[in-house]
Structure 1
Amino acid sequence: MRALFPKADGDRDGVLSTTEQVQAVEHVKRTYGEQWARQIEGMLSGAAAADQTVSTEAWLKQVADATRPVEMKTEKIAMRDGVRLATDICLPPGSGPFPVILARTPYNRVKHNESAPGFARAGYAFVNQDMRGRYESEGENLPFIGCGWGQHQDGVDTIEWIKKQPWCNGSIATIGGSAGGITQNLLAGAAPVGLKAQYILVAPTDMYSDASYIGSAFRKADVENWTAGNKFDPKALAIHRAHPSYDDYWRANDTHTRFALMNVPAVNVGGWFDMFAQGTIDQFIGRQHQGGEGSKGTQKLIMGPWQHAIGKMPAGELTFPDANRVPAKYDPVRWFEHYLGGVHNGVEKEPAVAYYVMGDTSTPGAPGNEWRYANDWPIPAKETPVYLTAEKKVALQAPEQAGSFHEYTFDPTNPCPTIGGQNLTIARGPMDQRKVEGRDDAVVFTSEPLDKPVEVTGRVWAKIFISSSAADTDLSVRICDVYPDGRSMLITEGIQRLRYRKSREKPEVLTPGQIEEVTVDCWSTSLIFNTGHRVRVMITSSNFPRFDVNPGTGEPWSEEGEKVKQTNRIYCDAEHPSRLIVPVVGKTADAE
């Protein structure tokens, strides 16, 4: 705020004219959004002299008043079972009552209070709480056990407590990312009275299929590192491992089952390289189309070229331009200003979806690398089959020959390493895959150089015909954008544990040698493959330590358990056309 004055004082006379004041407000509006512009406008008005000019001294007094310390206090709030949760409350100046923004975290509320004074000075009470069993809160130290609609409903109980406080005006919103987003999704499924809006960053919909078991393969590195690194009770990891199938344990934390009960508008922010990328999209679609009154039709989705940290560049080994923040029109302050403050700022009329179309980051002027907007998701696209051929090509023409396949043998004691991808605790983002593409247990298919740009925006599926010598194996699919200089940059990926190929609830082992078509969900992306680039698909049977290794026996991995080599065949013939199903957008799709 102090720096605004010298920037706005164009003639350097130590006084802001009315014209300079207007320009200053417009600059803040463009850069930081309408809420902050209104705050600056109010401060300028308070500092104005009789002739409507603003002196340096008057402005600095306004800044001092606006940045003075706000009141912060800590309460231990009792939940319905008597467990008390440590909760910080930061109140704005004045007597209130105020609208309230609530954040709940397993990461130590004291270290995550940095946004509290800003919200307080904007007129909101900010409440920040340690989740059950975490830091100064009582209770069992297990992830998310009090966040939803089960035995413990800590989020609901906290909102009920807030509503009874004299400083609360009855309007409550929530904010947070990652674990702070998970708890919001679970809270929405409990439909508490008084919740008015949410701002959710990088969070899954389904804790089984989005978080812990992708394609029913255990997400080894991230689950193990996250539970251990954050010092959860070791029982947390044991519980995850004890439920390899989608069962009642996972169903109790699956917000797919609660969309119809959800009744508040929400902003859902995610990244194409985030560990919860597809879950963020699914949360938006579910609430937007299946939600209850207040939810249906009121959601926003923002997808950027990010990993788990919104706005952070580079992403992996690529740097995307104009990607250092969420578009200003979806700023949380603007969102809360409307839904908590009742300000008619038009945020609810903004396009439902903002998505970043990635492109070639090395060629100036390459298509893509820009924000686009849509009224729904997915955007219109032509679902296009792209075939894997006997010649190890990626092609638009379906194979015509018979009896073609590629065979490899996977040894569980020598898994294919993870190199980047949609991870949290290990290297993440788009990274060059050439180090693993030459392995004996990998089959790599590559297109000819493209003669024109091709946009792929939406969800990508792999339909692979496979047979195996073993009772079980994995299908790991990596999709890459191959640059003219040879870099093979991972764009999106998927895995499927084959004993769960028909159902994530009831595993069924393979019949050795039997050919089956298996679908691998490669999640969603938005990318323009530039002219001269090639599309590459790598198929193998592991991605370690991103996922645990399939021992081939039909049983979960154990260090002491039996492990068998898996000889797998990928079929690429007329009767068994292995392929990707790709959402192609624009003129390229029309020309197919």
Structure 2
Amino acid sequence: MVFNIRDSKERTVLTVFPHEIEKVESVFIPMSDGSKLSATIWLPKDADENPVPAILEYIPYRKNDFTAIRDSVRHPYFAGHGYASIRVDIRGSGESDGFLQDEYLKQEQDDALDVLSWIEKQSWSTGAVGMIGKSWGGFNSLQVAARNHRALKAIITLCSTDDRYSDDVHYRGGNVLASDMLWWASTMLAYNARPQDPNVVGESWKENWLERLEKTPPFVEEWLSHQRRDDYWKHGSVCEDFSNIKVPVFAVSGWQDGYTDSVFRILENIPNSKGLIGPWAHEYPEVATPEPAIGFLQECLRFWDKWLKGMETGIMEEPRLISWIQDSERPAVTYEKRPGKWVADPAWPSPSVEHQSWWLSGSKLKSHFSTPAQNAAVVIPSVQEHGFYSGVFCPFGQPGDLPADQRLENGKAVVFTSEPLEETIELLGHPVFHAELSADQEDALLVVRLMDKAPTGESTLISWGMLNLTHRESHENPKKLVPGETYNVQIQLDSLGQQIPKGHQLEIAVSPTYWPSAWPSPKPVTLTLYPGSGTRLELPVRTPQTTDEKWGHFKAPETAAVMEREVIRREKRTREVIHDPINGVWKLKDFSDEGERRLLNNGVQYGSKNKNTWTIKENDPLSACAQCEWELTLKRDDRWDTKIETFSLMTSDETNFYLVNTVTAYEGTEQIFTKTWEKAIKRDHV
């Protein structure tokens, strides 16, 4: 996971602010149980005489090293505009006390309430607090908002979800998200194993390090033990009762992000909310790719000034949703820019969006002007290697993240193609695929891809979705299929904002496999799809509005200066699909050297490397194998030199998943710790 700042020709770096800034490091905030959390605070220098509201970011990614560069452009900016900007490492991370036992525990929320109470009492605080966060910090901003602490007045949540089961890195559509379930768990296994800084906590760092190594579990064991939407996943999923959130919410994401869908649900269910969706990957919009980046920190100030200072900035009188409709582009695994336009909708659902049904007929996708016809059934076999060119689930903006030309995939699925469009259309929202089908096995999944096909033949993936067919009625109470019985199901595909030009064609690809996105069904599956009124594609077609041109005129990005650092080793990314035709084996190898840097303010030198391999054999779903490896280094001159190595493996047979996780730690060249966890977990309708 890369926490760098990408240079932009458009970005303005501010060195002078309305308020002079003071940075206070290694502030230890007391918790109710006697533990302490470590914080860095950026303050206006006169805040003791003139108290200010506070902005809190609360995440486990280590403020003193691994996110220090990222934090340096944002928190001083807020402080320079009259806020106390506070960055806290959650319990068990960085220099904070304790151990991180899992994501989003009640303990994490309880600690956040203690932090809010502490902020409220400080001499420099007005008592009004906002929370901001991307990804983990976006998740817990929503979760803490639902706890209704009196000091928390508003939140800005980026690249986050309201639903931990259906819309995160663990399960999608009731399927194990094989591309990310183990990878993210292996990431946190390595991250949690990092030691405290002896310059901050003193000699106790090593004792704490050994305890963290011993007591912090591989999260994947817990995640894979809950394969249906039970109370484990309902905890922390604010969609269980949106009415618990009573503060204003600014929800932000991008079309390349893995968490765009939640913006729409937040707008539908939280009255005092705003939404912003750009073309971006999983990143803050002032530094994100692809361009256009925007002056997002200025937008944050408008939101904070309204809700934390009581100033009328006009931000809440603007349309509820401002989004970027992307122009059609030929497929590329990396885009530096995505041409398009900003559009504005006063509400969501939007009065400007009409849902049109397109019908399947033979090998054709017929427009909404046509009438559904009862055609011959379509047989859809399993091709286990379908999905290798799908791109990553949640792009961070690294080279190679995005789907390749889908012609590489379409021969491994059944594809339905429309006639060339007679007029340009614009799509905004969720496509939905309705299917009347049967399967020859009691466990099966359905994957649907939606593509924009250019007149020259290139096929660009614009949305996709999948459903574990045993979850067709409920994620909480799955039911086995009866082979040969006909079912009516629907799949909501990922949201999109996309122009499809006149002369282009739409393609729908249907398959019962999608490796490595979906862990395969236990046995090869053949689906039978029945065209007619029960099988259709529903498209969210938006009518352009003359008022669109009024909105989206964002200022160019502004940030504070990036902190001084020395680059020891530069980043490198490789992503290869390898086919062994003799043995029928396919592999995806993804290697990311995230580089190594030395921070000049504290002398800490840190680096990371990550290697992931997904393997499957043709016609053999039980050959699926995910393997993830990390190497993390942390050191300071010759006085402190540490390295973490992790290895994670996931396989299955017809009845069980099998997990192996190993952590090894080094001080200098000496191995000081190693531990391996092995676990078998029964498959539960997956």
TM-score range, shorter chain: 0.7 to 0.9
2:437 corresponds to 1:466: yes
Following the alignment from structure 1 to structure 2, what is the Cα–Cα distance between the partners of residues 85 and 418? 43
Kept in 1, the 8 Å contact 2:437–2:486? The answer is yes
2:332 corresponds to 1:390: no
Kept in 2, the 8 Å contact 1:306–1:313? The answer is no
2:111 corresponds to 1:154: yes
2:63 corresponds to 1:109: yes
Question: Hey, what does 1:165 align to over in structure 2?
Answer: 122
Question: Hey, what does 1:46 align to over in structure 2?
Answer: none
How far apart are 1:459 and its partner, in Å? Answer: 1.7
Deviations 1:388-422 (A, max 9, x none): 221343443233235x122132155x453252264
Aligned partner of residue 539 in structure 2, secondary structure: strand
Please list every run of 5 or more consecutive structure 2 residues that lacks an aligned counterpart in the other structure: 1-9, 193-215, 331-337, 546-686
Query: Which of 436, 450, 466 is the equivalent residue of 2:409?
Result: 436
Rate the CA distance shift 1:369–1:437 in 2: closer, same or farther, 3 A: same
Identity between Structure 1 and Structure 2 (%):
27
2:279 corresponds to 1:309: no
Rate the CA distance shift 1:532–1:64 in 2: closer, same or farther, 3 A: closer
The number of residues matched between the two structures is 493
Question: Hey, what does 1:88 align to over in structure 2?
Answer: 40
Following the alignment from structure 1 to structure 2, what is the Cα–Cα distance between the partners of residues 501 and 509? 10
Rate the CA distance shift 1:200–1:65 in 2: closer, same or farther, 3 A: closer
Following the alignment from structure 1 to structure 2, what is the Cα–Cα distance between the partners of residues 86 and 31? 31
1:140 alignment partner AA: F
Question: Hey, what does 2:25 align to over in structure 1?
Answer: 73
Aligned partner of residue 566 in structure 1, secondary structure: coil
Higher helix share: 1
Show the 5 A alignment for 1:60-459: 70-94=22-46, 95=48, 96-110=50-64, 111-112=67-68, 113-114=71-72, 115-146=74-105, 153-211=110-168, 212-230=170-188, 231=190, 232=192, 233-288=216-271, 298-311=272-285, 323-325=292-294, 331-361=299-329, 369-380=340-351, 381-396=353-368, 397-402=370-375, 404-410=376-382, 412=384, 414-420=385-391, 422-424=393-395, 428-429=401-402, 431-439=404-412, 442-459=413-430
Following the alignment from structure 1 to structure 2, what is the Cα–Cα distance between the partners of residues 310 and 462? 32
Question: Hey, what does 1:520 align to over in structure 2?
Answer: 491
Following the alignment from structure 2 to structure 1, what is the Cα–Cα distance between the partners of residues 406 and 417? 13
Deviations 1:108-129 (A, max 9, x none): 1223431222222211111111
Aligned partner of residue 25 in structure 2, secondary structure: strand
Question: Hey, what does 2:508 align to over in structure 1?
Answer: 537
Kept in 2, the 8 Å contact 1:423–1:429? The answer is no
Deviations 1:512-541 (A, max 9, x none): 011111111103212221011110111112
Query: TM-score, normalized by length of structure 2?
Result: 0.67
Q: Please, what is the CA RMSD of the aligned residues?
A: 2.9
2:458 corresponds to 1:487: yes
Moved more, 456-465 or 353-362: 353-362
1:183 alignment partner AA: N
Following the alignment from structure 1 to structure 2, what is the Cα–Cα distance between the partners of residues 31 and 173? 25
1:162 alignment partner AA: I
Kept in 1, the 8 Å contact 2:58–2:90? The answer is yes
Following the alignment from structure 2 to structure 1, what is the Cα–Cα distance between the partners of residues 342 and 244? 32
1:548 alignment partner AA: W
Following the alignment from structure 2 to structure 1, what is the Cα–Cα distance between the partners of residues 76 and 374? 68
Greater Rg by CA:
1
Aligned partner of residue 165 in structure 2, secondary structure: helix
Rate the CA distance shift 1:398–1:239 in 2: closer, same or farther, 3 A: farther
Following the alignment from structure 1 to structure 2, what is the Cα–Cα distance between the partners of residues 117 and 82? 30
Higher strand share: 2
Following the alignment from structure 2 to structure 1, what is the Cα–Cα distance between the partners of residues 525 and 329? 39
Please list every run of 5 or more consecutive structure 1 residues that lacks an aligned counterpart in the other structure: 1-29, 41-62, 289-297, 552-563
Bigger relative contact order, structure 1 or 2 (CA pairs below 8 A, ≥6 apart): 2
Following the alignment from structure 2 to structure 1, what is the Cα–Cα distance between the partners of residues 401 and 240? 30
Question: Hey, what does 2:585 align to over in structure 1?
Answer: none
How far apart are 1:177 and its partner, in Å? Answer: 0.7
How far apart are 1:479 and its partner, in Å? Answer: 0.5
2:300 alignment partner AA: P
1:85 alignment partner AA: L
Rate the CA distance shift 1:313–1:386 in 2: closer, same or farther, 3 A: farther
